[in-house]
Amino acid sequence: MTSPGLLPPSSPRPRLLAIAERLPRPDESAGSRRFLAILGHLTQLVEVDLWVERDETAGRTPLPAARVAADRDRLAAHGVHVLPTTWTALHDALVADRHETVWFEFHDMAARYLPVVRDRCPRAALIVDSVDVHFSRLEAGVALGVVSRRLARRVRRSELSAYRAADAVVVVSSEDGALLSRQPDMPPVVHVPICVTVRQRDARPRPPEALFVGHFRHAPNLDGLRWFVQQIWPTVRMRRADAQLTVIGSYPTADVQALATTPGISVLGYVPALDEALDRAAVAIAPLRYGAGMKGKVTDALAAGLPVVTTTVGAQGLDITSGTHAIVADDPVEFATAVVEMFDDARRAAAIGLAGQQLVESACGAPAIRAALANVLPSARVAAAARRSTPAPAHRLRWLWVVSRYTWSTWARILARRWDNMRPHSRA
């Protein structure tokens, strides 16, 4: 076994260092499922080391040590070497300078750590995984009056600065890719969608049950569920008095839990696996009014062969033809009509579910993911080589000034410990 804080012995294969805030938990969010799947696919191409910033066994709301250990074991089973959650471990990984590539999950992790990684590993290709383009989602929320315009402007500045400082940016949808490609001074933008595994759906009678799945620390999920319950659910119940809505998702708020008092609505909160719920429901709903990227609740349902009723926002990232692969409706009455139709017409529901499954398998199945990742790494390395051979452009100098202010607390901690005499330290 490798000693804590040390990298495993050298391998003839290239090495990649992934940097994230916390360990991925596929039972909590679609983003975590995607990140875990990407790390697993990357191990087929390179040796993968993962360092996470947050020690979740400490802090105000610590997780049980056994839970965190199980998360680390899951990663090890995927072939990922998980470094200790200490500054020393990150320092040792960087000064070893054995990583051809560094992968940042989310732009804010790049904003915090890209400067020191660039300094310590000048030859490494640096990739920022957007997961979704945050400022695009926030600007859509501004248009609805549910997000602060000031917040959206601030995130746009910091997010684009982080992307411009990288050698490649990963997006999950063609819409996000087109948006970033239009921005000046942007490095190569590569599409790596959500990863899914399709499974068979049995043909059998099902109750008139609609399923909503959403991580409730994600604001668009709260907004979309409220909109559905207030504007759409009464019409559904008027047309089908026996209709049921099941709500599943981690970290349900008090408002979400209170929905259980509404006739026909059941709030389950967190469940460890979705298979049973996806098999039981007659239709999945994704009533999102704003967002970006690709929606895990949609791809999960499609992969299970479950017909989906969603909005234009929920269909982002997939080449959905409404009425063929899913039903897309932005009007509350049309949305309610589509849900009731999936209850009443089992044959059409099954046909839509199968067509949606075939679509998501072609777009998000393992072959598509492997091909996308095989394109990301060389694209980033080519861009990194070009960067090393040319003087830093003015926008990168501006970015260094902005990020040095944005990450002053991080730099202060690093400098206080000194790179040559650091003590183990975990962030809560």
For 186-233, how does the pLDDT look when each residue is reduced to its tens digit (9 = 90+)?
999 999 999 999 999 998 999 999 999 999 999 999 999 999 999 999
pLDDT for residue 421 is more than 90: no
Question: Which pLDDT score is estimated for 401?
Answer: 44
Q: Regarding predicted confidence, which is higher, 142 or 29?
A: 142
Query: pLDDT tens digit string along 336-387?
Result: 999 999 999 999 999 999 999 999 999 999 999 999 999 999 999 999 999 8
The pTM of this model reads 0.86
Residue of 201, 174, 163 whose CA lies nearest to 357: 201
Query: pLDDT tens digit string along 167-199?
Result: 999 999 999 999 999 999 999 999 999 999 999
Q: How many CB atoms lie within 10 A of CB 199?
A: 12
Q: CATH 3.40.50.11930 in the chain: give the residue spans.
A: 15-195+367-417
Task: Give yes or no for a contact between 290 and 313, defined as CB atoms under 8 angstroms apart.
Answer: yes
Rounded Cα gap, residues 174 and 182, in angstroms? 12
Q: CATH 3.40.50.2000 in the chain: give the residue spans.
A: 209-364
Looking at 3.40.50.1100, 3.40.640.10, 3.40.50.150, 3.40.50.11930, the CATH number of the domain 15-195+367-417 comes to 3.40.50.11930
Residue 119's alpha-carbon distances to 113, 401, 424, 425, in angstroms, are 10, 14, 21, 21
pLDDT for residue 424 is more than 70: no
For the record, the structure tokens of 273 come out as 């696996």
Rounded Cα gap, residues 285 and 209, in angstroms? 10
H or E element in which residue 248 lies: strand 244-248
Residue 62's alpha-carbon distances to 65, 68, 78, 215, 427, in angstroms, are 8, 10, 25, 19, 12
- CA atoms within 13 A of residue 237's CA, in its CB half-sphere: 13
User: Can you tell me the mean pLDDT for 102-112?
Assistant: 96
Question: Which pLDDT score is estimated for 403?
Answer: 47
Rounded Cα gap, residues 109 and 247, in angstroms? 31
Question: Which pLDDT score is estimated for 425?
Answer: 37
CATH topology of domain 209-364: Rossmann fold (3.40.50)
